[in-house]
Chains A and B, each alone.
Chain A
């Protein structure tokens, strides 16, 4: 099943490259069709997932490189399942939203003068959609891999399509951004590779996660290996101080790619921390916890302060994500069930709410030909629907109760608070800063008198609305009823908790009746 899910978009990508020249519309339709089929199949699979059943389900395992003990082994637990679901649900929406993004003249509505300021795509339309589909295959693969080497391969291979998308279809400074993205990721990847091999040398000659997570490593070795994995994931996620590639990459990437980059690809980093750093090296993870918590809290505040100071919409959203990744890392390393379940849910919720933000920002940029905040003003008056969706996406970004991100942020904070009071309180300052960066951005772009160049701006088209509406619906639905998703996540988190041998701190006052 999982292999099929990986193969389908990969074959689709290959198929699109075979299409004759000039059949751009067909390429788009094929890409959309395949991504919808993948999404439907995944949802069908997710419904058959049994939270109370075996940890990994839908498992498959075949020898890949027998000599080196490498398996094609895939399977999902609750955490991987929800992240795959996030990826495949976002994919058709991203394709829909970036329908004309790769066209020769990206924003056809723009006046000629503005258009020249905006870099033109370097490669063909079908390349763009083929790259998107191949990216989808790798995103599913990276979350589904239960063989550490296979995971590494997907982890690295993901870079390739993203590099080409940013480098060929991005903004004016795309080559700088693409290379920076690549260098950072390669650097992290190589460190991880060393750690992967070293881990293999300690084990029984296999890369299977299930086997490797049973190892009892020598503490010093474990610490070094932990660092090898952690640095790669901290670059990917990214945590401060490994973050500076993200605003450039996300700022220059075309909108659809920015959504996938920040919404899904970066989650591989936090997913890796939870799955690999904690379970492969439990005692080392505990040893490094104070360092990670400190970095996470710094990231929350630092990212938020920087977001407030941005003048470019895309970079602003990127910095808010750096702040949010801090929350996710905090939840994971708080080593409580609320923290880790909250962090996992945070990955999903952040994926959706950032996707909505990036998409709308993208729509705004295409209309205006500029990403600068001061190029806008008073959009609400001319495009009320666009402004309304932007506000909902923004409120989700600031974790308004009743919207999905609140649940995860609250769980992370509660889970952290029960073990680490001071970091949780400092992190909670982030909720005030979030209100500042979101609402100030909203005010400067949407409110006030309508700026002259904004006056003719069109409201959302049906296509754009179709891309946004499902995301908004999910954000609201999970805000009011998060339990079903949490029920899927919880058992997996319990596995992690027992592997790191941590228990939730007991309340200081037991409930009446249970008190001795």
Chain B
């Protein structure tokens, strides 16, 4: 890593990135109904303004040499207590700018799409306020130059996520899902906050530079502990095992939210955290191994869940879990994987957001139906949606030449490249995952757009308005080109200043053994899906299915496990505690009072005409004081 310089020019105005959407959220929330008419336009304008600033900063960065690309803007001193000094500053480096462009770019497209999607919602203004709030928090998360600032953004996006999942809060399922997301995330936050405490106790500072420069001097156990605690935080935010259960329920939110927060940006914050903290993880191989294990387990679990879902959004949510698992696995591989983790993250941001918005477009035309068994044959009536979704689909399954092929295959190769047993196991998982991905994504594709019509009566699907389809088209361009652009365009060199020194040069090879294996598995996956969901009619009611299908439908029993291990005992404990407090602690006191008073009747009398008794006891108290003072004088 190179030294950090002070930002100049546009970059010194980096706070504007956050200020624009924050101001938008404030105006829309405080302005209330008065802003209903133009609220959505303000929301979009603020997001676009941020994007413009981001692009300008990016261009300015490209003008610098590699050693000069890490710059910081000092904002203000947040607090000073003893040795704990927290200066709020924004770090502009290749890693953060990549996120800034993704968040504001994809974010703006989703804002624009939402104008159409939320058109008939009476609370559209509030929706845009929350979207703006999310963008502001997410930008703080990736731009902060210290862990406390990151933590503030981290919880800010959690809040925005809570508000948006529960946007239709009158639905009990939405309200419950929102609360669940927040609480499960808090378990992760518990890890992150303890990691920060441990950093302060160890290094006396919680700024990135302070922690990273001194990480080498700390005991190995401490660094490993910090790494594992950060991983716990990452698991919460990125819906990785064992904190994955909230993400599938989060699909209760409006679809643009699923696209922006629960696919493209927020859920990747865990990957950001790990890649940003690379100096810690480089010193803690055990923590790195844990990251890869979590990633591998989640990528398979998510993929299997994706296979069993008939709800189009939940199938995509399983896919998101799985893809973020890939990113974590890559991040855990260390130097060999960081670049692919981020490249896949960005490419995924485009194709997954595109597909989610595509799903939203389908729902828009299908009276908000989400069950793919009630879809079918939509390619004829929704040409743009079909085409854009199709490109995203080809990208995610890794069709040669499209984004996923570059970035996901990179991860698979890097996993095998690790060598040894662990390399073989991890590589095997990624390979297997690729096959399953091809299967469940083809299943979504075929059930939705191919086959016969299985629509409900009275549903007349139609293409969505331009304000929705144009963002779809732009995102599909990203789905096609972004991976190739990043991998061939020197993304690893670009990111290098943010990553540990001595990164291996990566030469892109179009045909490798792993690549061929991936391709074959992909074809097999698509083939099976074709046989099951395209070559023969899809039943409108879900068949019973095999054991695996049933398990996948139930999210691999994640909720059942949480319920029996945590919720039930928790409820039991709560009831016991309430009983104990009322009857035990308080009972003893009341009993004592009654005992001293002789009978409980006397206590009752005490309670009614107590004013005089009070005056009396005050008098006695005062007499005691005077008496005591006199005695002391003697």
Contact = CB atoms under 8 A, between A and B. Distances in A.
Interface of A: 67-68, 156, 160, 163, 167, 175-176, 178-179, 182-183, 186, 189-190, 193-194, 197, 200-201, 240-241, 243-244, 302, 305-306, 308-310, 336-338, 341-342, 378, 380-381, 385, 388, 395, 400-402, 406-407, 410-411, 413-415, 417-418, 421, 424-425, 428-429, 431-432, 435-436, 439-440, 442-443, 446-450, 481-483, 486-487, 490, 504-512, 515
10 contacts: A67-B629, A186-B617, A305-B577, A338-B82, A418-B197, A432-B186, A448-B175, A481-B76, A482-B78, A507-B204
Given A156-B618, A194-B628, A401-B156, 15 more contacts: A176-B607, A178-B610, A193-B628, A336-B82, A380-B169, A401-B152, A407-B79, A431-B186, A432-B190, A439-B178, A443-B179, A448-B175, A482-B79, A511-B204, A515-B217
Interface string B201-232: 11111000010011001110010000000000
A310 B574 CA distance: 9
Contact of A414 (B190, B200, B608): B200
Contacts of B179: 439-440, 442-443
B159 interface: yes
B222 A508 contact: yes
B421 interface: no
A243 B76 CA distance: 41
B608 A175 contact: yes
- Which one of B170, B178, B593 has the greatest number of beta carbons of chain A within 10 Å? B170
B424 interface: no
Nearest to A486: B79
A10 B189 CA distance: 47
Which of A197, A243, A435, A436 counts the most B-chain CB atoms under 10 A from its CB? A435
B457 interface: no
A401 B155 contact: yes
A175 B183 contact: no
Contacts of A201: 632
Nearest to A479: B152
A501 B575 CA distance: 44
B578 interface: yes
Contacts of A413: 193, 197
B586 A244 contact: yes
B168 to A, nearest CB: 10
B577 A448 contact: no
B607 A179 contact: yes
Contacts of B23: none
Chain A residues touching B, majority SS = helix
Contacts of A425: 194
A410 B578 contact: no
A206 to B, nearest CB: 12
A515 B203 CA distance: 12
A436 B172 contact: no
Contact of A504 (B82, B151, B187, B614): B82
B81 interface: yes
Contact of A401 (B77, B79, B84, B154): B154
A309 B577 contact: yes
A431 B197 contact: no
B581 interface: yes
Given A448-B170, A486-B79, A436 B183 contact: yes
Contacts of B148: 410
Contact of A309 (B210, B575, B611, B624): B575
A179 B170 contact: no
Identify which of A156, A302, A418 gathers the most chain B CB atoms within 10 Å of its CB.
Answer: A418
Given A309-B578, A418-B200, A508-B202, A431 B169 contact: no
Contacts of A385: 32
Nearest to A307: B574
B561 interface: no
Nearest to B582: A244
A347 to B, nearest CB: 15
Contact of A182 (B174, B200, B610): B610
A425 B232 CA distance: 14
A134 B314 CA distance: 60
Contacts of A481: 76, 78
Nearest to B33: A384
B200 A306 contact: no
Contact of B632 (A197, A400, A415): A197
B589 interface: yes
B213 A244 contact: no
A183 B577 CA distance: 24
B597 to A, nearest CB: 10
B81 A337 contact: yes
B30 to A, nearest CB: 10
B573 interface: yes
Contacts of A68: 629, 633
Contacts of A243: 585
B175 A443 contact: yes
B67 to A, nearest CB: 20
Contacts of B614: 160, 163, 182
A301 to B, nearest CB: 9
A208 to B, nearest CB: 15
Interface centre among B81, B204, B217, B222 (most CB of A within 10 A): B81
Contact of A508 (B32, B77, B218, B578): B218
B183 A439 contact: yes
A402 B629 contact: no
A507 B624 contact: no
Nearest to A69: B629
Contact of A487 (B80, B194, B610): B80
B166 interface: yes
Contacts of A240: 585
Nearest to A241: B585
B541 interface: no
A165 B632 CA distance: 37
B83 A378 contact: no
Contacts of B162: 439
B184 to A, nearest CB: 9
A341 B621 CA distance: 35
B524 interface: no
Contacts of B196: 414
Contact of A342 (B81, B186, B190): B81
Nearest to A450: B170
A270 B156 CA distance: 31
A439 B182 contact: yes
Nearest to B217: A509
B606 interface: yes
A11 to B, nearest CB: 22
B176 interface: yes
A440 B183 CA distance: 10
B194 A512 contact: no
Contacts of A67: 629, 633
Interface in B359-408: none
B189 to A, nearest CB: 7
A417 B155 contact: no
A150 to B, nearest CB: 13
Contacts of B79: 407, 411, 482-483, 486
Nearest to B82: A337
Contact of A506 (B204, B574, B578): B204
